[in-house]
Structure 1
Amino acid sequence: MDTAAGAGDVALEVRTLALGDAPGVVPLARDFARQVLHEWGWLPAPSADRRAAAEDVLLVVSELVTNACLHAEGPEWLRMFRREKVLRLEVADRGAGHPAPRTPHRAGRPGGHGMFIVQRLCLDWGVERVPGAPGKTVWAELAAPA
């Protein structure tokens, strides 16, 4: 178990899954996230609202990892941070591009919905880069269930 304290945080728990060239990274990441949600008490969910919150996390994990597979030379790792009121997901990849929701979004067309879904489900999301280093980290934050 990785545990750390951040500035101003009462408690911050972190879980990391190395992905690299592992086969089936999307289901692997989703299974890992489900296991972490069990460890953190989000699952099994005692109510429909909490179940929906957990499903949102699993969907965002799937979308971020899939996006890294399709557009960024594959994901390096998935990291999950738990704070009191926010769950942060991070996916590091080797790509140089910048993810963005497709504009205009067309609900009836196949493909191109991943970052639109992330934008709709999350409190916030973004991209972090280290100057001079290849790749990036795409992050998303979701509200923790009450």
Structure 2
Amino acid sequence: MPGQRRRLALAGVRGQVGKGRDFTRQALRDWGWYGNETAEDTLLVVSELLTNAGLHADGCLELVLTAGDSLRIEVLDGTADLPRRHPSPQRGLPGGHGLYIIERLSDRWGTDPRPPGKVVWAEFESSRLVSGRPARP
């Protein structure tokens, strides 16, 4: 499994968040990293990354998952505009929470320029995916 990479082209695809979650869930199952709370956190981070790309960058062009010492999730979009945290998201109201969720759940996250825009990425240590607590039913 180390070094395995999966790509999902999403340019112009409707329902990017659902397709990205399904793609990620299958990869986690195939890699033996599914069925614990960290896997559920991973799916939430994928949802947030894809939602942010849809709301702020005209959608995701590609979702890339790389398995190694960590699981790296990359979302390529078509704008160079860097993500910014909302200065004061309102509790109980939608919007402005995505980057806080990504930061809180993942081990690391960041951005890299990549033509035609940028990659927003997040990483989870593989040890968390292997030994995480079982997911709640």
Say whether the fold is shared (TM-score over 0.5). Answer: yes
Identity %: 45
* TM-score of the two chains, using structure 2 as the length reference: 0.86
Q: Deviations over 1:37-87 (max 9, x none)?
A: 1100112x2xxxxx1110011000000011001100110000011113x11
Instruction: Choose which of 1, 10, 18 in structure 2 pairs with 1:19.
Output: 10
Q: CA shift at 1:109, angstroms?
A: 2.7
More displaced 10-residue stretch of structure 1: 98-107 or 52-61: 98-107
Provide the secondary structure at the position in 2 that maps to 1:81.
strand
Contact 2:106 2:123 in 1 (8 A): yes
Q: Over aligned residue pairs, what C-alpha RMSD do you find?
A: 1.5
Stretches of structure 2 that go unaligned for 5 or more consecutive residues are 132-137
For 1:117-128, list aligned pairs within 5 A: 117-128=101-112
Q: Does 1:61 align with 2:46?
A: yes
1:87 alignment partner AA: L
Q: What is the number of equivalent residue pairs in this alignment? A: 128
Q: Distance in 1 between matches of 2:80 and 2:112?
A: 11
Match of 1:92 in 2: 76
Stretches of structure 1 that go unaligned for 5 or more consecutive residues are 4-10, 46-50
Match of 2:58 in 1: 73
2:28 alignment partner AA: L
Q: Distance in 2 between matches of 1:142 and 1:101?
A: 20
